[in-house]
Chain A
Protein backbone atom coordinates (compact mmCIF):
# COMPACT_ATOMS: atom_id res chain seq x y z
CA UNK A 1 0.00 0.00 0.00
CA UNK A 2 1.47 3.34 -1.04
CA UNK A 3 1.44 6.24 1.33
CA UNK A 4 -0.64 9.06 -0.08
CA UNK A 5 -0.93 12.45 1.47
CA UNK A 6 -2.66 15.71 0.81
CA UNK A 7 -0.73 18.36 2.73
CA UNK A 8 -2.53 21.21 4.39
CA UNK A 9 -2.63 24.68 2.90
CA UNK A 10 0.62 26.72 2.91
CA UNK A 11 -0.54 28.73 5.88
CA UNK A 12 -0.66 25.59 7.98
CA UNK A 13 1.79 23.40 6.13
CA UNK A 14 4.16 22.78 9.03
CA UNK A 15 3.22 19.28 10.15
CA UNK A 16 2.91 18.38 13.75
CA UNK A 17 5.61 16.44 15.52
CA UNK A 18 3.76 13.22 14.74
CA UNK A 19 3.90 13.72 10.94
CA UNK A 20 4.91 10.68 8.92
CA UNK A 21 8.04 11.04 6.74
CA UNK A 22 5.76 11.35 3.70
CA UNK A 23 3.71 14.11 5.30
CA UNK A 24 6.87 15.94 6.26
CA UNK A 25 8.29 15.67 2.73
CA UNK A 26 4.99 16.91 1.27
CA UNK A 27 4.90 19.92 3.54
CA UNK A 28 8.54 20.76 2.84
CA UNK A 29 8.12 20.36 -0.90
CA UNK A 30 5.10 22.60 -0.85
CA UNK A 31 7.20 25.33 0.78
CA UNK A 32 9.86 24.89 -1.92
CA UNK A 33 7.24 25.18 -4.66
CA UNK A 34 5.73 28.27 -3.09
CA UNK A 35 9.19 29.80 -3.01
CA UNK A 36 9.94 28.88 -6.61
CA UNK A 37 6.52 29.86 -7.99
CA UNK A 38 5.33 32.82 -5.90
CA UNK A 39 2.01 32.99 -7.78
CA UNK A 40 1.25 29.30 -7.14
CA UNK A 41 -1.94 28.48 -5.27
CA UNK A 42 -4.04 25.38 -4.66
CA UNK A 43 -0.91 23.24 -4.56
CA UNK A 44 -1.87 19.61 -4.11
CA UNK A 45 0.69 16.82 -3.72
CA UNK A 46 -0.72 13.33 -3.92
CA UNK A 47 0.37 9.69 -4.04
CA UNK A 48 3.66 10.52 -2.32
CA UNK A 49 5.68 7.36 -1.83
CA UNK A 50 9.35 6.60 -1.30
CA UNK A 51 10.65 4.32 -4.04
CA UNK A 52 12.46 1.14 -3.04
CA UNK A 53 15.43 1.85 -5.32
CA UNK A 54 18.09 4.45 -4.85
CA UNK A 55 21.20 3.47 -2.94
CA UNK A 56 22.64 6.95 -2.62
CA UNK A 57 19.60 9.09 -1.86
CA UNK A 58 15.89 9.12 -1.16
CA UNK A 59 13.65 8.99 -4.22
CA UNK A 60 10.07 10.14 -3.70
CA UNK A 61 7.36 9.76 -6.34
CA UNK A 62 4.35 12.09 -6.33
CA UNK A 63 1.65 13.76 -8.42
CA UNK A 64 1.39 17.54 -8.21
CA UNK A 65 -1.26 20.02 -9.30
CA UNK A 66 -1.28 23.78 -8.84
CA UNK A 67 -2.50 26.97 -10.43
CA UNK A 68 -0.31 29.99 -11.06
CA UNK A 69 -0.20 33.07 -13.25
CA UNK A 70 0.33 30.86 -16.31
CA UNK A 71 -2.70 28.66 -15.60
CA UNK A 72 -3.39 25.21 -14.18
CA UNK A 73 -0.61 22.61 -13.98
CA UNK A 74 -0.59 18.86 -13.46
CA UNK A 75 2.72 16.98 -13.29
CA UNK A 76 4.07 13.61 -12.30
CA UNK A 77 7.22 14.33 -10.31
CA UNK A 78 10.20 12.71 -8.64
CA UNK A 79 11.90 14.29 -5.68
CA UNK A 80 15.51 13.24 -5.11
CA UNK A 81 16.77 14.13 -1.65
CA UNK A 82 20.18 13.41 -0.17
CA UNK A 83 19.95 10.63 2.36
CA UNK A 84 21.62 11.03 5.73
CA UNK A 85 23.86 8.09 4.84
CA UNK A 86 24.85 7.45 1.27
CA UNK A 87 27.06 5.40 -1.01
CA UNK A 88 27.94 8.39 -3.11
CA UNK A 89 28.71 11.83 -1.85
CA UNK A 90 27.27 13.78 -4.70
CA UNK A 91 25.95 17.25 -5.36
CA UNK A 92 22.38 17.98 -6.30
CA UNK A 93 23.61 21.14 -8.03
CA UNK A 94 25.63 19.01 -10.41
CA UNK A 95 22.62 16.92 -11.33
CA UNK A 96 20.43 20.00 -11.77
CA UNK A 97 22.98 21.71 -14.03
CA UNK A 98 23.44 18.63 -16.21
CA UNK A 99 19.71 18.00 -16.60
CA UNK A 100 19.17 21.65 -17.56
CA UNK A 101 22.00 21.39 -20.09
CA UNK A 102 20.57 18.21 -21.59
CA UNK A 103 17.22 19.82 -22.44
CA UNK A 104 16.92 19.91 -26.21
CA UNK A 105 19.66 17.34 -26.83
CA UNK A 106 19.06 13.82 -28.15
CA UNK A 107 19.85 12.39 -24.71
CA UNK A 108 16.58 11.23 -23.11
CA UNK A 109 16.54 12.61 -19.58
CA UNK A 110 13.90 13.97 -17.20
CA UNK A 111 13.02 17.63 -17.32
CA UNK A 112 14.22 19.23 -14.09
CA UNK A 113 12.00 21.72 -12.27
CA UNK A 114 13.42 22.96 -8.99
CA UNK A 115 16.39 22.56 -6.72
CA UNK A 116 16.90 23.04 -3.00
CA UNK A 117 20.71 23.14 -3.06
CA UNK A 118 21.32 23.60 0.66
CA UNK A 119 18.27 21.79 1.99
CA UNK A 120 16.68 25.05 3.11
CA UNK A 121 13.20 23.66 2.51
CA UNK A 122 13.59 19.89 2.45
CA UNK A 123 16.19 19.48 5.16
CA UNK A 124 18.79 18.07 2.75
CA UNK A 125 19.91 19.04 -0.77
CA UNK A 126 17.19 18.02 -3.23
CA UNK A 127 16.07 18.29 -6.83
CA UNK A 128 12.59 17.87 -8.27
CA UNK A 129 12.20 16.54 -11.77
CA UNK A 130 9.72 15.03 -14.17
CA UNK A 131 8.71 11.43 -13.48
CA UNK A 132 9.29 9.80 -16.84
CA UNK A 133 7.20 6.79 -17.70
CA UNK A 134 8.99 3.46 -17.84
CA UNK A 135 10.42 0.90 -15.48
CA UNK A 136 13.90 0.27 -14.18
CA UNK A 137 15.48 -3.17 -14.33
CA UNK A 138 19.13 -3.65 -13.34
CA UNK A 139 19.25 -6.98 -15.15
CA UNK A 140 17.16 -6.16 -18.21
CA UNK A 141 19.87 -7.41 -20.60
CA UNK A 142 19.64 -10.84 -18.99
CA UNK A 143 15.94 -10.78 -18.23
CA UNK A 144 13.21 -13.02 -19.64
CA UNK A 145 12.73 -10.73 -22.65
CA UNK A 146 13.42 -12.33 -26.06
CA UNK A 147 17.05 -12.16 -27.21
CA UNK A 148 16.34 -9.77 -30.09
CA UNK A 149 14.70 -7.31 -27.69
CA UNK A 150 17.60 -7.55 -25.27
CA UNK A 151 20.11 -7.03 -28.07
CA UNK A 152 18.19 -4.00 -29.31
CA UNK A 153 18.25 -2.56 -25.79
CA UNK A 154 21.97 -3.31 -25.48
CA UNK A 155 22.62 -1.42 -28.71
CA UNK A 156 20.31 1.33 -27.44
CA UNK A 157 22.41 1.69 -24.30
CA UNK A 158 25.67 2.08 -26.22
CA UNK A 159 24.02 4.54 -28.63
CA UNK A 160 22.85 6.48 -25.58
CA UNK A 161 26.38 6.50 -24.19
CA UNK A 162 27.70 7.81 -27.51
CA UNK A 163 25.00 10.51 -27.50
CA UNK A 164 26.07 11.62 -24.02
CA UNK A 165 29.68 11.80 -25.19
CA UNK A 166 28.59 13.89 -28.21
CA UNK A 167 26.93 16.58 -26.07
CA UNK A 168 28.51 19.94 -26.85
CA UNK A 169 29.44 20.70 -23.25
CA UNK A 170 31.12 23.99 -24.10
CA UNK A 171 28.06 25.36 -25.91
CA UNK A 172 25.81 24.22 -23.06
CA UNK A 173 27.86 25.87 -20.34
CA UNK A 174 28.85 22.69 -18.56
CA UNK A 175 32.46 23.81 -18.17
CA UNK A 176 31.19 26.48 -15.79
CA UNK A 177 28.94 24.22 -13.72
CA UNK A 178 30.99 21.01 -13.71
CA UNK A 179 34.51 22.37 -14.04
CA UNK A 180 37.27 20.99 -16.19
CA UNK A 181 39.60 18.32 -14.76
CA UNK A 182 42.49 20.05 -13.02
CA UNK A 183 45.01 17.46 -14.19
CA UNK A 184 44.51 14.71 -16.73
CA UNK A 185 40.98 13.23 -16.43
CA UNK A 186 42.43 9.89 -15.34
CA UNK A 187 44.51 11.44 -12.56
CA UNK A 188 41.71 13.78 -11.54
CA UNK A 189 39.25 10.91 -11.22
CA UNK A 190 41.79 8.77 -9.38
CA UNK A 191 42.58 11.62 -6.97
CA UNK A 192 38.88 12.09 -6.27
CA UNK A 193 38.36 8.44 -5.38
CA UNK A 194 41.64 8.23 -3.48
CA UNK A 195 40.48 11.08 -1.24
CA UNK A 196 37.17 9.29 -0.73
CA UNK A 197 39.02 6.05 0.11
CA UNK A 198 41.14 7.80 2.71
CA UNK A 199 38.06 9.43 4.20
CA UNK A 200 36.00 6.27 4.62
CA UNK A 201 38.41 3.41 5.29
CA UNK A 202 37.97 1.98 8.78
CA UNK A 203 40.86 -0.49 8.68
CA UNK A 204 43.94 -1.20 6.54
CA UNK A 205 43.30 -2.52 3.04
CA UNK A 206 46.74 -3.39 1.63
CA UNK A 207 45.06 -4.90 -1.44
CA UNK A 208 43.45 -1.59 -2.37
CA UNK A 209 46.68 0.28 -1.58
CA UNK A 210 48.63 -1.97 -3.92
CA UNK A 211 46.10 -1.52 -6.72
CA UNK A 212 46.01 2.24 -6.13
CA UNK A 213 49.78 2.33 -6.51
CA UNK A 214 49.47 0.52 -9.87
CA UNK A 215 46.71 2.90 -11.03
CA UNK A 216 48.88 5.90 -10.18
CA UNK A 217 51.85 4.50 -12.10
CA UNK A 218 49.84 3.53 -15.17
CA UNK A 219 47.37 6.45 -15.48
CA UNK A 220 46.74 7.10 -19.18
CA UNK A 221 46.75 10.38 -21.08
CA UNK A 222 43.33 11.43 -22.32
CA UNK A 223 42.76 12.23 -25.97
CA UNK A 224 39.45 14.03 -25.65
CA UNK A 225 37.21 15.44 -22.96
CA UNK A 226 33.46 14.78 -23.03
CA UNK A 227 30.49 14.76 -20.73
CA UNK A 228 30.76 11.52 -18.73
CA UNK A 229 27.74 10.01 -16.99
CA UNK A 230 29.85 8.40 -14.27
CA UNK A 231 27.48 5.55 -13.35
CA UNK A 232 26.24 4.27 -16.69
CA UNK A 233 24.19 1.10 -16.23
CA UNK A 234 20.75 -0.32 -17.03
CA UNK A 235 19.82 0.26 -13.40
CA UNK A 236 20.06 3.98 -14.03
CA UNK A 237 17.66 4.01 -16.97
CA UNK A 238 13.94 3.73 -17.56
CA UNK A 239 12.61 1.44 -20.23
CA UNK A 240 9.17 1.75 -21.78
CA UNK A 241 8.27 -1.10 -24.06
CA UNK A 242 11.38 -1.63 -26.13
CA UNK A 243 12.90 1.82 -25.90
CA UNK A 244 14.97 3.63 -23.30
CA UNK A 245 12.71 6.44 -22.13
CA UNK A 246 15.19 8.20 -19.85
CA UNK A 247 18.70 8.07 -18.50
CA UNK A 248 18.64 8.85 -14.79
CA UNK A 249 20.99 9.57 -11.91
CA UNK A 250 23.19 12.32 -13.27
CA UNK A 251 24.67 13.31 -9.92
CA UNK A 252 28.01 11.69 -10.78
CA UNK A 253 28.24 13.32 -14.22
CA UNK A 254 31.39 15.29 -14.94
CA UNK A 255 33.70 16.34 -17.73
CA UNK A 256 36.30 13.69 -18.30
CA UNK A 257 37.56 10.84 -20.43
CA UNK A 258 34.78 9.06 -22.37
CA UNK A 259 36.56 5.77 -21.76
CA UNK A 260 35.57 6.10 -18.12
CA UNK A 261 31.96 5.24 -19.05
CA UNK A 262 33.09 2.54 -21.48
CA UNK A 263 35.38 1.11 -18.80
CA UNK A 264 32.46 1.03 -16.37
CA UNK A 265 30.24 -1.02 -18.71
CA UNK A 266 33.01 -3.39 -19.87
CA UNK A 267 34.13 -3.98 -16.30
CA UNK A 268 34.25 -7.78 -16.09
CA UNK A 269 32.80 -7.97 -12.59
CA UNK A 270 29.53 -6.47 -13.82
CA UNK A 271 29.07 -8.63 -16.89
CA UNK A 272 25.60 -9.72 -15.79
CA UNK A 273 24.35 -6.16 -15.93
CA UNK A 274 26.01 -5.03 -19.14
CA UNK A 275 26.62 -8.05 -21.33
CA UNK A 276 24.62 -10.82 -23.00
CA UNK A 277 26.73 -13.99 -23.02
CA UNK A 278 27.68 -15.06 -26.55
CA UNK A 279 25.99 -12.09 -28.19
CA UNK A 280 26.94 -8.80 -26.58
CA UNK A 281 30.29 -9.04 -24.88
CA UNK A 282 33.30 -6.78 -24.47
CA UNK A 283 34.37 -7.03 -28.12
CA UNK A 284 30.90 -6.20 -29.47
CA UNK A 285 30.47 -3.31 -27.04
CA UNK A 286 33.83 -1.77 -27.92
CA UNK A 287 33.29 -2.29 -31.67
CA UNK A 288 29.87 -0.65 -31.48
CA UNK A 289 31.25 2.27 -29.50
CA UNK A 290 34.10 2.78 -31.96
CA UNK A 291 31.69 2.67 -34.91
CA UNK A 292 29.33 5.16 -33.26
CA UNK A 293 31.96 7.66 -32.16
CA UNK A 294 34.78 7.20 -34.67
CA UNK A 295 37.20 6.88 -31.74
CA UNK A 296 39.84 4.18 -31.61
CA UNK A 297 39.78 2.52 -28.22
CA UNK A 298 43.13 1.37 -26.85
CA UNK A 299 42.74 -1.97 -25.09
CA UNK A 300 45.51 -1.04 -22.64
CA UNK A 301 43.84 2.24 -21.74
CA UNK A 302 40.41 0.64 -21.48
CA UNK A 303 41.87 -1.96 -19.12
CA UNK A 304 43.15 0.83 -16.88
CA UNK A 305 39.63 2.27 -16.74
CA UNK A 306 38.27 -1.24 -16.01
CA UNK A 307 40.60 -1.52 -13.01
CA UNK A 308 39.62 1.96 -11.86
CA UNK A 309 35.94 1.00 -12.23
CA UNK A 310 36.48 -1.93 -9.86
CA UNK A 311 38.58 0.14 -7.46
CA UNK A 312 35.92 2.86 -7.45
CA UNK A 313 33.27 0.21 -6.79
CA UNK A 314 35.35 -1.03 -3.86
CA UNK A 315 35.55 2.50 -2.44
CA UNK A 316 31.80 2.95 -2.85
CA UNK A 317 31.26 -0.24 -0.85
CA UNK A 318 33.68 0.96 1.83
CA UNK A 319 31.66 4.18 1.96
CA UNK A 320 28.58 2.09 2.65
CA UNK A 321 30.44 0.22 5.41
CA UNK A 322 31.57 3.54 6.90
CA UNK A 323 28.06 5.01 6.82
CA UNK A 324 26.48 1.83 8.21
CA UNK A 325 28.90 1.77 11.15
CA UNK A 326 28.17 5.46 11.76
CA UNK A 327 24.47 4.66 11.97
CA UNK A 328 23.52 6.67 8.87
CA UNK A 329 22.97 3.95 6.28
CA UNK A 330 20.42 1.16 6.38
CA UNK A 331 22.00 -1.51 4.18
CA UNK A 332 24.81 -3.81 5.26
CA UNK A 333 27.81 -4.04 2.96
CA UNK A 334 31.08 -5.89 3.54
CA UNK A 335 34.68 -5.22 2.59
CA UNK A 336 34.67 -5.90 -1.18
CA UNK A 337 37.20 -8.74 -1.18
CA UNK A 338 35.42 -10.30 -4.19
CA UNK A 339 36.85 -7.53 -6.36
CA UNK A 340 40.52 -8.18 -5.56
CA UNK A 341 41.18 -11.19 -7.78
CA UNK A 342 39.64 -9.68 -10.95
CA UNK A 343 41.59 -6.47 -10.40
CA UNK A 344 44.87 -8.37 -10.01
CA UNK A 345 44.07 -10.40 -13.14
CA UNK A 346 43.41 -7.25 -15.18
CA UNK A 347 46.62 -5.65 -13.89
CA UNK A 348 48.61 -8.75 -14.92
CA UNK A 349 47.06 -8.73 -18.39
CA UNK A 350 47.44 -4.98 -19.02
Chain B
Protein backbone atom coordinates (compact mmCIF):
# COMPACT_ATOMS: atom_id res chain seq x y z
CA UNK B 1 0.00 0.00 0.00
CA UNK B 2 1.48 3.32 -1.07
CA UNK B 3 1.85 5.72 0.43
CA UNK B 4 2.71 3.46 3.33
CA UNK B 5 1.92 4.38 6.92
CA UNK B 6 5.58 5.25 7.31
CA UNK B 7 5.53 7.50 4.24
CA UNK B 8 2.30 9.20 5.31
CA UNK B 9 3.55 10.01 8.80
CA UNK B 10 6.87 11.25 7.44
CA UNK B 11 5.11 13.39 4.84
CA UNK B 12 2.63 14.79 7.34
CA UNK B 13 5.48 15.96 9.59
CA UNK B 14 7.22 17.56 6.63
CA UNK B 15 4.10 19.46 5.55
CA UNK B 16 3.32 20.62 9.06
CA UNK B 17 6.90 21.88 9.47
CA UNK B 18 7.40 23.44 6.04
CA UNK B 19 3.92 24.69 5.15
CA UNK B 20 1.83 25.09 8.27
CA UNK B 21 4.31 26.13 10.99
CA UNK B 22 5.71 29.19 9.15
CA UNK B 23 2.16 30.50 8.73
CA UNK B 24 1.26 30.24 12.42
CA UNK B 25 1.84 33.59 14.14
CA UNK B 26 0.26 33.02 17.53
CA UNK B 27 3.01 32.09 20.06
CA UNK B 28 0.85 29.63 21.96
CA UNK B 29 -0.34 27.86 18.82
CA UNK B 30 3.24 27.76 17.52
CA UNK B 31 4.43 26.06 20.71
CA UNK B 32 1.60 23.54 20.57
CA UNK B 33 2.29 22.80 16.91
CA UNK B 34 6.00 22.24 17.60
CA UNK B 35 5.08 19.73 20.31
CA UNK B 36 2.65 17.89 18.05
CA UNK B 37 5.20 17.61 15.24
CA UNK B 38 7.83 16.32 17.66
CA UNK B 39 5.37 13.75 18.95
CA UNK B 40 4.41 12.65 15.43
CA UNK B 41 8.09 12.14 14.63
CA UNK B 42 8.47 10.04 17.79
CA UNK B 43 5.40 7.96 16.84
CA UNK B 44 6.80 7.48 13.35
CA UNK B 45 9.77 5.71 14.92
CA UNK B 46 7.85 3.96 17.71
CA UNK B 47 4.77 2.49 16.04
CA UNK B 48 6.54 -0.45 14.37
CA UNK B 49 7.98 -1.49 17.75
CA UNK B 50 4.82 -1.33 19.89
CA UNK B 51 3.41 -4.82 19.21
CA UNK B 52 6.78 -6.50 19.71
CA UNK B 53 7.26 -4.55 22.93
CA UNK B 54 3.90 -5.68 24.31
CA UNK B 55 4.51 -9.28 23.32
CA UNK B 56 7.91 -9.30 25.01
CA UNK B 57 6.60 -7.49 28.08
CA UNK B 58 3.70 -9.90 28.50
CA UNK B 59 6.10 -12.83 28.45
CA UNK B 60 8.50 -11.17 30.90
CA UNK B 61 5.70 -10.07 33.23
CA UNK B 62 4.12 -13.56 33.18
CA UNK B 63 7.49 -15.13 34.01
CA UNK B 64 8.01 -12.74 36.92
CA UNK B 65 4.50 -13.29 38.27
CA UNK B 66 5.04 -17.05 38.17
CA UNK B 67 8.17 -16.60 40.30
CA UNK B 68 6.40 -14.30 42.76
CA UNK B 69 3.20 -16.33 43.14
CA UNK B 70 4.47 -18.82 45.78
CA UNK B 71 5.42 -15.89 48.04
CA UNK B 72 2.10 -14.07 47.72
CA UNK B 73 -1.18 -14.38 49.66
CA UNK B 74 -3.29 -17.29 48.36
CA UNK B 75 -6.06 -15.23 46.68
CA UNK B 76 -3.55 -13.20 44.67
CA UNK B 77 -1.46 -16.28 43.89
CA UNK B 78 -4.61 -18.01 42.61
CA UNK B 79 -5.51 -15.00 40.45
CA UNK B 80 -2.02 -15.16 38.95
CA UNK B 81 -2.31 -18.87 38.23
CA UNK B 82 -5.61 -18.26 36.46
CA UNK B 83 -4.23 -15.36 34.44
CA UNK B 84 -1.17 -17.34 33.37
CA UNK B 85 -3.40 -20.21 32.23
CA UNK B 86 -4.74 -18.00 29.43
CA UNK B 87 -2.95 -18.31 26.13
CA UNK B 88 -0.97 -15.37 24.77
CA UNK B 89 -2.77 -13.25 22.14
CA UNK B 90 -1.77 -13.38 18.51
CA UNK B 91 1.22 -11.08 17.87
CA UNK B 92 -0.79 -9.21 15.25
CA UNK B 93 -3.72 -8.48 17.59
CA UNK B 94 -2.61 -5.18 19.12
CA UNK B 95 -5.77 -4.65 21.17
CA UNK B 96 -5.54 -8.11 22.73
CA UNK B 97 -1.84 -7.63 23.48
CA UNK B 98 -2.65 -4.34 25.21
CA UNK B 99 -5.48 -5.88 27.20
CA UNK B 100 -3.29 -8.79 28.30
CA UNK B 101 -0.55 -6.34 29.29
CA UNK B 102 -2.89 -4.35 31.49
CA UNK B 103 -4.23 -7.49 33.18
CA UNK B 104 -0.76 -8.80 33.98
CA UNK B 105 0.50 -5.41 35.17
CA UNK B 106 -2.53 -5.01 37.43
CA UNK B 107 -1.56 -8.29 39.12
CA UNK B 108 2.04 -7.11 39.36
CA UNK B 109 0.88 -3.87 40.98
CA UNK B 110 -0.95 -5.87 43.63
CA UNK B 111 2.01 -8.15 44.16
CA UNK B 112 4.56 -5.39 44.75
CA UNK B 113 2.32 -3.58 47.24
CA UNK B 114 1.62 -6.62 49.38
CA UNK B 115 3.54 -8.14 52.23
CA UNK B 116 7.30 -7.76 52.26
CA UNK B 117 8.92 -9.99 49.68
CA UNK B 118 12.34 -11.57 50.02
CA UNK B 119 15.24 -9.38 48.85
CA UNK B 120 15.95 -11.59 45.84
CA UNK B 121 12.36 -11.25 44.64
CA UNK B 122 12.43 -7.50 45.22
CA UNK B 123 15.60 -7.30 43.15
CA UNK B 124 13.94 -9.29 40.34
CA UNK B 125 10.95 -6.94 40.38
CA UNK B 126 13.14 -3.86 40.09
CA UNK B 127 15.24 -5.42 37.33
CA UNK B 128 12.08 -6.24 35.41
CA UNK B 129 10.76 -2.71 35.83
CA UNK B 130 14.00 -1.02 34.78
CA UNK B 131 14.37 -3.34 31.80
CA UNK B 132 10.80 -2.62 30.76
CA UNK B 133 11.31 1.13 31.05
CA UNK B 134 14.43 0.95 28.92
CA UNK B 135 12.55 -0.88 26.15
CA UNK B 136 9.49 1.40 26.12
CA UNK B 137 9.06 2.46 22.49
CA UNK B 138 7.02 5.63 23.10
CA UNK B 139 8.70 8.49 24.92
CA UNK B 140 7.82 12.06 25.74
CA UNK B 141 9.54 14.56 23.50
CA UNK B 142 10.18 17.74 25.49
CA UNK B 143 9.60 20.98 23.62
CA UNK B 144 9.21 23.30 26.61
CA UNK B 145 9.12 26.96 25.68
CA UNK B 146 12.16 28.96 26.70
CA UNK B 147 10.31 32.21 27.04
CA UNK B 148 6.90 33.29 28.24
- A: residues with CB less than 8 A from B are 1-3, 49-55, 59, 135-139, 203-207, 209-210, 212-213, 235, 317, 330-338, 340-341, 344
Let me know if A138 and B146 touch, CB within 8 A.
yes
Can you list the 6 inter-chain pairs with the closest CB atoms, starting with the nearest? A53-B148, A52-B27, A337-B133, A206-B109, A204-B105, A206-B108
Given pairs A50-B28, A51-B148, A52-B31, 8 additional interface contacts (CB within 8 A): A1-B25, A3-B26, A51-B28, A52-B147, A136-B147, A213-B112, A337-B136, A338-B140
In the assembled complex, the Cα of A1 lies from the Cα of B102 at a distance in Å of: 47
B140 surroundings in chain A (CB, below 8 A): 317, 332-334, 336, 338
A209 surroundings in chain B (CB, below 8 A): 109, 112-113
**Which of B7-15, B76-84, B85-93, B124-132 forms contacts with chain A?**
B124-132
Chain A nearest CB from B95 CB (Å) reads 14
Let me know if B148 and A54 touch, CB within 8 A.
yes
Is B2 interfacial (CB 8 A cutoff)? no
- Return the CB mask of B131-148 against A: 1 if under 8 Å, else 0: 011101011100011111
Pick the most buried of A204, A206, A235: most chain B CB atoms within 10 A of its CB. A206
In the assembled complex, the Cα of A161 lies from the Cα of B146 at a distance in Å of: 22
Let me know if A341 and B27 touch, CB within 8 A.
no
A210 surroundings in chain B (CB, below 8 A): 112-113, 125-126, 129
Chain B nearest CB from A195 CB (Å) reads 16
Please, could you name 5 A-B residue pairs with CB atoms under 8 Å apart, sorted by A?
A54-B148, A204-B106, A206-B111, A210-B129, A332-B36
B146 surroundings in chain A (CB, below 8 A): 136-139
In the assembled complex, the Cα of A207 lies from the Cα of B144 at a distance in Å of: 26
Chain B nearest CB from A92 CB (Å) reads 18
A3 surroundings in chain B (CB, below 8 A): 26
B112 surroundings in chain A (CB, below 8 A): 206, 209-210, 213
